[in-house]
Amino acid sequence: MNTGNDSRAAKGGLRAWWLSPPRSGMRRLIAPWEYRHLPAFGIAHLAGGIVAAAAGIVCLSYTAYGWAAFFLLVGALNLLCGYWYLAVARSFPTG
């Protein structure tokens, strides 16, 4: 008895799912669910980066240098990622 198979593997697998929507170059590094809502995720990354940087500054005031370095690094990476997401979102053609 053959039954219908409605799995994603039958429709092209994980590769087809990851490449939808179609995108090129460095944009393929962005997860599909994030790519569909880039401005929202960009702002969320910027907010997270600000919070992590604030935590790093608080750790610096308590002379916890290891934790301060960790939080400042995480904050910097989040700010960079948020800026990149917003730059990609701005590059979309409008109209």
pLDDT (tens digit per residue) in 8-41: 444 666 666 666 667 777 777 888 888 888 999 9
- CA-to-CA distance for 65 and 30, rounded, in angstroms? 32
Q: Is residue 62 part of a domain?
A: yes
- CA-to-CA distance for 52 and 39, rounded, in angstroms? 20
- CA-to-CA distance for 35 and 20, rounded, in angstroms? 9
Our count of domains for the chain comes to 1
Q: Is residue 47 part of a domain?
A: yes
Question: How many beta carbons lie within 10 A of that of residue 50, not counting itself?
Answer: 14
Side chain identity at 88, as an amino acid letter? V
Average pLDDT, the chain: 83
Domain of 37 in residue numbering reads as 30-95
- CA-to-CA distance for 86 and 95, rounded, in angstroms? 18
pLDDT number for residue 85: 92
Most confident of 2-6, 17-21, 45-49: 45-49
pLDDT number for residue 37: 87
